[in-house]
Amino acid sequence: MAEITDKSLVLGIDVGGQSSKLGVVDARGEILVQSVISSLQTDIDSYITDLTDAINDLIGKVGGTSKIRGIGIGAPNGNYYKGTIEYAPNLKWCYDSSGKPQVIQFAKMISSRVGVPVTVTNDANAAGIGEMTYGIAKGMKNFIMITLGTGVGSGIVIDGKMVYGHDGFAGELGHTIAVKDGRKCNCGLRGCLETYCSAIGVSRTVTEVLANSDKPSILRDLDQTKPISSYEVFKAAEQGDELAKEIFKITGELMGTAFADFIKFSAPEAIVLFGGLAKAGKYLDEHIIRSMNENQLPIWKNKVKLLHSTLKDSDAAILGASALAWEL
């Protein structure tokens, strides 16, 4: 490892619905040290304490705050302009005492406790920046990053720049309506893409398919008192389970139809998939691509590539978030 001089490192944090991953990164994009904490706390003070303790521990391992130029954070509903997390439905510590998501002055809260400048962006934007800088989208000027995790996130890059819009929230493609009057979403709307094509959305599809079909399936042998995970569906598909494959077909077709619409407004070179659900690619991709092209104008049919992230799950968002901090 090269000598660590003052302000020669940055710290990237990926805030997810289940866990938060953080790492210290050098100018070459190497993650020197990293750790993870839970994101399942139900109050903001507990989460901030856990996170800042983890930040200080990592900073101590590389020589202290003098070595750190800044901290970049990717978080659901992160606002790049304001440094806030606003009304994030999948982060329980964002809820107020009445049970409603609120605006969290996230950058200020972290900076005041750690003593280092902090910048915030949407978690999917951070993953997109990481992919554009270090991954399969390196050299691309126009692409859409889709993150498939607890929710469905997106980062839109046009002419080499992340799209933020006038208020910092552009690119909430997971909350476009995939099914009119469909499933209730945590955001308050019905039929959002996220309610069908996230890991949680797949679990909901499992419940519906099992209830409406009498086909035999490995999935019926699992504990029905708790949600069946997308990973369990994947394992069943790997064993040749036809009902599991049907669940991925339903999911892939909905994704493809939505992606066809996304292509129409930004004409990307590629759509890049990232996250746990994307690992089921061999059961999803053919359905996504077919549906994407069936619902496409001739000028884009069979033209836009569907790619998978080449970065580790933890690395893409950490690297992307950390890249923001070089500007501080």
pLDDT at residue 260 tops 70: yes
Cβ proximity of 273 and 152 under 8 Å: no
Confidence of residue 316 (pLDDT cuts 50, 70, 90): confident
**Can you give the pLDDT at residue 16?**
86
From the number of C-beta atoms within 10 Å of its C-beta (0-12, 13-18, 19+), residue 282 rates as exposed
Confidence of residue 34 (pLDDT cuts 50, 70, 90): very high
Q: Could you read off the pLDDT of 192-251 as tens digits, one per residue?
A: 999 999 999 999 999 999 999 999 999 999 988 899 999 999 999 999 999 999 999 999
**Can you give the pLDDT at residue 191?**
97
Q: Could you read off the pLDDT of 109-128 as tens digits, one per residue?
A: 999 999 999 999 998 898 89
Q: Could you read off the pLDDT of 275-301 as tens digits, one per residue?
A: 889 999 999 999 999 999 999 999 999
* Cα gap 236→58, rounded to integer Å: 39
Residue range 139-310, CATH number = 3.30.420.40
Ranking 20-24, 150-154, 157-161 by mean pLDDT, the lowest is 150-154
Confidence of residue 23 (pLDDT cuts 50, 70, 90): very high
* Cα gap 31→206, rounded to integer Å: 37
**Can you give the pLDDT at residue 55?**
98
Q: Which residues contact residue 64 at a Cβ distance below 8 angstroms, ignoring those fewer than 6 apart?
A: none
pLDDT at residue 1 tops 60: no
pLDDT at residue 133 tops 90: no
Cβ proximity of 34 and 19 under 8 Å: no
Give me the mean pLDDT over the 31-39 stretch.
Answer: 96
**Can you give the pLDDT at residue 225?**
85
- Percent pLDDT > 90 in the chain is 79
CA dihedral for 294, 299, 303, 309, sign (positive or negative): negative
pLDDT at residue 62 tops 80: yes
Look at residues 102, 19, 24, 6 and name the one whose alpha carbon lies nearest to residue 321. 24
Q: Which residue do the tokens 């978030």 mark?
A: 321
Q: Which residues contact residue 150 at a Cβ distance below 8 angstroms, ignoring those fewer than 6 apart?
A: 16, 17, 18, 90, 198, 199, 200
**Can you give the pLDDT at residue 177?**
97
Confidence of residue 255 (pLDDT cuts 50, 70, 90): very high
**Can you give the pLDDT at residue 246?**
97
User: What tokens were used for 90?
Assistant: 């999948």
**Backbone angle region of 257, left / alpha / beta, with phi > 0 → left and psi within -120 to 50 → alpha:** alpha
Tally of helices (H runs) and strands (E runs) in the chain: 9, 13
Q: Where are the domains of the chain?
A: 9-129+314-325, 139-310
- Rounded to the nearest integer, the mean pLDDT of the chain is 93
**Can you give the pLDDT at residue 323?**
87
Ranking 50-54, 167-171, 189-193, 206-210 by mean pLDDT, the lowest is 167-171
**Can you give the pLDDT at residue 312?**
79
Confidence of residue 2 (pLDDT cuts 50, 70, 90): low
DSSP 131-181: HHHHSTTTT-SSEEEEEESSSEEEEEEETTEE--TTTS----GGGSBSSTT
Q: 10 forms bridges with which residues in the sheet?
A: 25, 70
Cβ proximity of 148 and 309 under 8 Å: no
Q: Which residue do the tokens 């469909």 mark?
A: 182
Do 139-310 and 9-129+314-325 have the same topology in CATH?
Answer: yes
Q: Which residues contact residue 282 at a Cβ distance below 8 angstroms, ignoring those fewer than 6 apart?
A: none
Cβ proximity of 77 and 25 under 8 Å: no
Look at residues 301, 315, 309, 280 and name the one whose alpha carbon lies nearest to residue 145. 309
* Residue 33: CA count within 13 A, CB half-sphere: 11
Q: Which fold has domain 9-129+314-325?
A: Nucleotidyltransferase; domain 5 (3.30.420)
